[in-house]
Amino acid sequence: MQVQTVTGPIGLDQLGRTLMHEHLFIAFSGAEFDPTAVFDRPAFVAEAVKRLKQLREEHGVKSFLDPCPIELGRDAALMKEIAEKSEMQVICTTGFYFEEMGLPIYWRARTEQEIADLYISEITHGIGKTGVKAGAIKVATGKPITALDKKFLAAACIASKATGTPIITHTQDGHGAPEQQELFAAGGVEAHKCLIGHCCGNADPAYHRKVVDGGSYIGFDRIGLLRFQPDEVRADNLVKLVRSGHRAQIMMSQDRHCGWLGKFARQLSPQEQAHIDAQRAAGNWPPPYTYMFTDFFPMLKERGLTQHDIDSILLDNPRRYFAGEPLPLPNQA
Ligand SMILES: [Zn+2]
C-alpha cells in the first residue's frame, strides 16, 4: 500500500505528520490575462521552499496535501520542484472545482465517464507530460449543490472505485456536507474513503455530528481563516468531537497558500485590502503555514486536549485515510 506524492510513491509509514489541506499556488482562471498580475517563478519557488522547510524542521510535518483543483492554476511541475528542494512530501490531486467558481466549458460538456477517464489517467499515468501522479481526488460543490456539481462528483466516484484513490472535498459556506455524503454513498464510495472538507465553516455541533455519524473524515481545515469562523468556535467544536469519541475522524489543516496570481476572485473591501497591504509590508503575507502549531494548538490544550490527541489527528488519521482502512471502533480510537 503506497501513497502517490509528486516525487513518486512512498510507503504509508513514511507519511508522518500530514497537513491535509494546504495550497502552494493558486490562480483563478483568467488571472493570466491580467497585466497587473505578476508571477516571479524562481522567487515563488524560493519562498515556498523556505516555508515548507520551516514546517518540516520546526514542527515535524513530513507531508503536505495540496488539493488544488485542475483549473485553479494547478502546476504539477512546480509542485514537484518545490517538493524536491524542500524535501517535503507533497501530494497533489486530480479533479475540478465547482460550477459557481470553476468548471471549464469543455469539461462541462463531457460525460461522467469521460471526466472519470481524465481523473483515472492522472492517477495511473500522470498529469499531462509531467509524470507526476495524483494521490487523491478533489471534489467541490457550491451552495446550493448544482446538477453540474453532481456530475463531477459522480465522475470522482467512478475514478475512486476504479483506482482505490481517496476523495477530498470542498464544501461552500459550511453547507452541503451531509448531501455530499449521500451522493458518495449513491456513487458506491465508502464513507471512510472521503474527507468532507471545510466543515468548520459551520458553527453548529449537530452538523459535525451528522458528518462523523455518516462515517467520513471531517475537515477542520480552515484554521486561522477568521473570515469564515472565529478559531474559538473551531476549537470548541473540535474538542466536542474528540470528547464524543470521534478523534479518529478529524483532519486539521489551514487552507493557506503561499502564492496567488493577481487579485482575489471577489472584490475586497477597502478595509480588507488595507489589512493585506499592511501584512504584506510587514512581510507577513501570505500568512505562514505554522499558525496552527503556534496559535491554534495552545487553544486546544487550554480546552483539555493533550499532545497525544493532536499527534494522533496529524499522524494516524491521514495514514488510515490513505490506507483506506475502516475507522477504528470508538473505544479503540
Ligand atoms: Zn483549498
Cα of 331 vs centre of ligand 1, distance in Å, is 32
Cα of 231 vs centre of ligand 1, distance in Å, is 17
**What is the per-residue pLDDT across 142-197, written as a single tens digit (0 to 9) for each?**
999 999 999 999 999 999 999 999 999 999 999 999 999 999 999 999 999 999 99
Cα of 255 vs centre of ligand 1, distance in Å, is 5
Cα of 19 vs centre of ligand 1, distance in Å, is 12
Ion ligand 1, residues whose Cβ is below 5 A away = 255
Please state whether the predicted TM-score (pTM) of the whole model is above 0.85: yes
Counting DSSP H helices and E strands in the chain, the numbers are 12, 12
Cα of 83 vs centre of ligand 1, distance in Å, is 18
- CA dist., res. 257 & res. 102, Å (int): 18
Cα of 332 vs centre of ligand 1, distance in Å, is 31
**What is the per-residue pLDDT across 215-237, written as a single tens digit (0 to 9) for each?**
999 999 999 999 899 999 999 99
Cα of 68 vs centre of ligand 1, distance in Å, is 7
Cα of 24 vs centre of ligand 1, distance in Å, is 10
- CA dist., res. 330 & res. 315, Å (int): 17
Q: Give CA separation, 211 vs 145, 162, 167, 181, in Å.
A: 17, 25, 15, 8
Cα of 289 vs centre of ligand 1, distance in Å, is 13
DSSP 9-51: EEEGGG--EEESS--SEE--TTGGG-TT----HHHHHHHHHHH
Cα of 67 vs centre of ligand 1, distance in Å, is 6
Cα of 223 vs centre of ligand 1, distance in Å, is 12
Cα of 184 vs centre of ligand 1, distance in Å, is 20
- Which domains does the chain possess? 2-325 (3.20.20.140)
Q: What is the pLDDT of residue 331?
A: 55
Q: What is the pLDDT of residue 329?
A: 76
Cα of 95 vs centre of ligand 1, distance in Å, is 12
Cα of 257 vs centre of ligand 1, distance in Å, is 8
Cα of 79 vs centre of ligand 1, distance in Å, is 15
Question: Where are the strands (E) in 40-158, listed by range?
Answer: 61-66, 89-94, 136-140
Cα of 333 vs centre of ligand 1, distance in Å, is 27
Amino acid (one-letter) located at 280: R
Cα of 242 vs centre of ligand 1, distance in Å, is 24
Dihedral-angle region of residue 33 (phi above 0 means left; psi in -120 to 50 means alpha; beta otherwise): alpha
Cα of 112 vs centre of ligand 1, distance in Å, is 23
pLDDT per 10-residue tile (average), the chain, 333 residues: 96 98 97 94 97 98 98 98 98 98 98 98 98 98 98 98 98 97 98 98 98 98 95 98 97 96 93 92 92 98 98 98 91 53
